[in-house]
Amino acid sequence: MNDFWSRHPWLRRATAAMITFLVVVITALLYIAYVYIPPEDRTETPAYLTYLQEHHLDGYVNAGNFRLHYLHEGKGEPVVLLPGNGAWMYSFRTIIPALAQHYSVYVIDTPGDGYTTPLASNPDYSALYTLSSIDQSLLAFLDHFHLGRVAIGGNSEGGGIALSFAEHYPDRVNKYISLDGTGLNIPDTWFWQLTAFPVLGEVYTKLTISRSAMRQILSAVTVHMPVTDTIVQDYYIPYTFHPNVVSWWVMERNIHWEETEHLLPQMKTPILVIWGKQDTVLDPHLYLPRWHYVDPHATIMEIDQAGHAVQEDQPGQVSQALLHFLAE
Amino acid sequence: MNEHFQAFAGIMVAAVLALDGFLHAYWATGQTWPARNTRSLVQAVLNSSNTRAFRPAILLLLAVLLVCGALLVLARVHLLSIPGQLIPDSLLQLGIVGVATGLLVRAAMGIGWTLGLAPARSRWFYRLNLLVYTPVCLILFIAAVVVLSSY
């Protein structure tokens, strides 16, 4: 071996340099993954949160493992909505006024998003961000407000979490709504799956905590809504909060939708499925036929000129569809 | 990742680091077991003939660092009870990244010696490096990463 290297000194140097480079890269990745924490943007308050506070529309409830941030508007039968991962109640701002004219609307920042926080000061995130932990928190929320049976739904991962709750607590849910929601056992897109890998998931998530990344995400999940600086800013601020950053990879590793899909045929609750035709995150060509297969009685609606955040792109059509379904 | 698996990985890393630390403390007292003398010990451990590298002050410092590394790892997997809770999370993570980097660097150097990129000065060192030091460091490095991921 020594003879070989002495005959090829350049190869010896290149191999040594490559090993050194790998060590440096791996060390840097470990540092970013497990030591570096992206700075939180606590200096500013989203304009929408200020609006909610000024009008006394939001509040906090200790429920289960979380201090849930919620919005309540309107009177009537209760409707509970959960935003998707990376979003917060802001993502429903355009449909709340129409619903609140007829219903008592509660929007909860899903654990891992918005202004909802874990109750423990030094939490074990992998034990917190599970479907059963979040389900119990939602149940405690309903109990706190003495809400007997509610219509529950959500966008993206909020839809999947709402589905899990509807399946596990059927006596507390009278209707279920999926707005481009997860919950079916269909593989996520590659960038979501990437976050499931140790080290890579942490590095990828932490390095994409920026306003420009948020703008790209919003541009990817909408096709009709203009992505303005104000919208980016309101989405971005809670996106930077540490528990929310951690939730990206912990939830991807913890939450598997086999169980929710497996339980779907047993669910008796009426279901409304609304999907953006141009959704590039959860492909309608995969999800809608599967929804039809697992629940032939579900009302399925595909909306044109709408992406993954269907209620952001077409709030009028989504509001009308929700009102019609809730009134049935 | 399974909590028990992370605890097992942490105990494994901590046990080897602590054992290595106590061995260094033992050598700091002037003992050379299992080698016959300091020179052969230095050759078998460090691939060097410089016995000054095995001065008690250096050995004690290494022993302290190794035991501290072991304690940090135990604290990370919640096996150090209250003292472990007093250590800030960021310090724990930084310390274990340090442990993992140390193991990775040693493993990379071991690969270099195994491939002949750098000369092994004794046959004993070559064999120990190939069969013990490098594989153990690689396994412990992976175990340290598993510990790091225990959010």
Nearest to A150 by CA among A101, A108, A98: A108
User: How far apart, in whole angstroms, are the C-alpha atoms of residue B68 and residue B72?
Assistant: 6
Q: For residue A20, which residues of chain B lie inside 8 Å, CB to CB?
A: 108
> Which pLDDT score, from 0 to 100, does residue A7 have?
86
| B151 contacts A246? CB cut-off 8 A | yes
Residues (pLDDT < 70) of chain A are 1-2
Q: At residue B53, does pLDDT exceed 90?
A: no
pLDDT, mean over chain B:
92
Output the pLDDT for position B3: 79
Chain A positions contacting chain B at CB under 8 Å are 1-2, 4-5, 12, 15-16, 19-20, 22-23, 26-27, 30-31, 33-35, 37, 122, 124-126, 198-199, 202, 246, 250, 253
- What's the sign of the alpha-carbon dihedral A305, A307, A313, A318? positive
Would you say B128 and A23 are in contact if contact means Cβ atoms under 8 Å apart?
no
- Chain centre to alpha carbon of residue B116: 23
Chain A nearest-CA residue for B116: A2
Q: Is the pLDDT of residue B43 over 70?
A: yes
Q: Are B51 and B27 in contact (CB under 8 A)?
A: no
CB contact under 8 A, B111 and A33: no
Residues of A in contact with B119 (CB under 8 A): 2
Chain B residue with minimum CA distance to A9: B117
Contact across the interface for A34 and B148, Cβ inside 8 Å: yes
- Dist. CA B5–CA A222, nearest whole Å: 41
Question: How much is the pLDDT for B16?
Answer: 97
Q: How far A308 CA lies from chain B's nearest CA (Å)?
A: 30
Would strands A66-73 and A58-63 be described as parallel, antiparallel, or unpaired? Answer: antiparallel
pLDDT score recorded for residue A8: 86
User: Chain B: nearest CA to A107, how far in angstroms?
Assistant: 28
Q: Are strands A104-108 and A66-73 parallel, antiparallel or unpaired?
A: antiparallel
By Cβ distance, the residue of B97, B117, B151 closest to A30 is B97
* Residue A1: per-residue pLDDT: 63
Residues of chain B positioned with their CB less than 8 A from the CB of A27? 97, 100-101, 104
Provide the angle, in degrees to the nearest 10, between the axes of the packed helices A47-54 and A229-239: 80
CA–CA gap between residue A312 and residue A93 (Å, rounded)? 9
Backbone angles phi, psi at A177, to 5 degrees: -125, 130
User: Best residue in A34, A122, A125 to probe B by mutation, most B CBs within 10 Å?
Assistant: A34
Q: Which DSSP helix (H) or strand (E) runs through A71?
A: strand A66-73
Q: Look at B116 and A37 and tell me if their CB atoms are within 8 Å.
A: no
Tokens 């919003």 label which residue? A218
Name the DSSP letter for residue A114.
Answer: T
Residue B90: predicted pLDDT: 85
Per CB-CB distance under 8 Å, the chain B contacts of A35 are: 90, 93-94, 97
Model's pTM, two decimal places?
0.87
Q: What is the pLDDT of residue A40?
A: 94
pLDDT of residue A310: 98
pLDDT digits (tens, 9 = 90+) for B92-146: 999 999 999 999 999 999 999 999 998 888 889 999 999 999 999 999 999 999 9
Judge: B148–A12 Cβ closer than 8 Å, yes or no: no
A284, amino acid identity: P
Interface with chain A: mutation pick from B72, B85, B97, B109, highest number of A CBs within 10 Å: B97
Q: With contact defined as beta carbons under 8 Å apart, do A176 and A272 qualify?
A: yes
Q: Please write down the long-range contacts of A37-45, taking CB distance under 8 Å and 24 or more positions apart.
A: A37/A206, A37/A242, A37/A245, A37/B90, A38/A206, A38/A209, A38/A240, A38/A245, A39/A240, A40/A240, A40/A241, A40/A242, A41/A236, A41/A237, A41/A240, A42/A241, A44/A233, A44/A237, A45/A237
Mean pLDDT on B65-91? 88
Dmax over CA atoms of chain A, in Å, equals 86
Minimal-distance CA residue of chain A relative to B2: A126
Which among B1, B3, B93 has the least Cβ separation from residue A34? B93
State which H helix or E strand residue B93 sits in: helix B89-115
Predicted confidence at residue B4, as pLDDT, reads 87
Mutate to test the interface with B, among A30, A203, A246 (most CBs of B within 10 A): A30
- At residue A123, the pLDDT reads 87
Residue B1: pLDDT over 70: no
Answer for the pair A129, A117: CB distance below 8 angstroms, yes or no.
Answer: no
What is the Cα–Cα distance from A325 to A212, expressed in whole angstroms?
Answer: 37
